[in-house]
């Protein structure tokens, strides 16, 4: 697929089914997300509707011709008045969409909207063995702030994760 065949768009209701399907595929890989399957359909729809209702930072990578979802990035607000300036990054791509620059396009779009929404800090965690993702985050200015030992456990196997953050000035 050529870069010009793919659009980065704000999430819309037309994307809900594709988001759920694609998220489930990535989750079942057991390598990149903190869960191993997509949340139930009803909970997902409620979440996506909340994103739209509150104009949250979320964008999708889609094939222009079909609107098929290839990936997603969001920066969601942290709870609590003292953390209202902080967003938490989540980003994922279908296996066939990786290595094409889509992660950078999604991340750029999400960070730009986060600035507009008034976030001044973006946090994330990334497994220590996910070197490509860590390198992408570092290219965007994220810095490692610490190591989270045994951050996740999938099929009885623990993984450590880097805690990273980007300050938006």
| Ordered per-residue pLDDT tens for the chain, 169 residues | 788 899 999 999 999 999 999 999 999 998 888 889 999 999 999 999 999 999 999 999 999 999 999 999 999 999 888 888 999 999 999 999 999 999 999 999 999 999 999 999 999 999 999 999 999 999 999 999 999 999 999 888 999 999 999 999 8
The pLDDT of residue 1 is 76
Residue 80 falls inside a structural domain = yes
Instruction: State the burial class of residue 5 (Cβ atoms within 10 Å of its Cβ: 0-12, 13-18, 19+).
Output: exposed
Residue 63 falls inside a structural domain = yes
What range defines the domain where residue 49 resides?
A: 3-120
Report the C-alpha gap between 8 and 110 in whole angstroms: 10
Do residues 68 and 62 make contact, with C-beta atoms less than 8 angstroms apart? yes
Residue 156 falls inside a structural domain = no
The pLDDT of residue 71 is 97
Residue 82 falls inside a structural domain = yes
Report the C-alpha gap between 97 and 77 in whole angstroms: 27
Q: How many domains does the chain have?
A: 1
| CATH (domain of 71) | 3.40.630.30
To the nearest 10°, the Cα dihedral for 131, 169, 47, 133? -10
Specify the pTM: 0.94
């Amino acid at each position: 697929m050529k870069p010009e065949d793919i659009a980065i768009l704000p999430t819309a209701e037309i994307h809900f089914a594709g988001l759920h399907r694609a998220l489930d595929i990535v989750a079942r890989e057991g390598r990149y997300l903190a869960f191993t399957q997509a949340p139930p359909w009803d909970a997902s729809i409620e979440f996506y509707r909340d994103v739209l209702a509150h104009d949250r930072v979320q964008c999708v990578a889609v094939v222009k011709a079909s609107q098929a979802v290839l990936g997603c990035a969001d920066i969601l607000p942290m709870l609590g008045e003292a953390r209202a300036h902080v967003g938490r990054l989540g980003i994922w791509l279908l296996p066939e969409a990786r290595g094409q620059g889509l992660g950078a396009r999604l991340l750029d779009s999400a960070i730009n909207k986060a600035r507009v929404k008034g976030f001044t800090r973006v946090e994330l965690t990334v497994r220590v063995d996910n070197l490509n993702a860590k390198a992408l985050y570092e290219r965007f200015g994220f810095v490692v702030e610490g190591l989270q030992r045994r951050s996740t456990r999938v099929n009885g196997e623990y993984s450590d994760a880097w805690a990273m953050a980007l300050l938006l000035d």
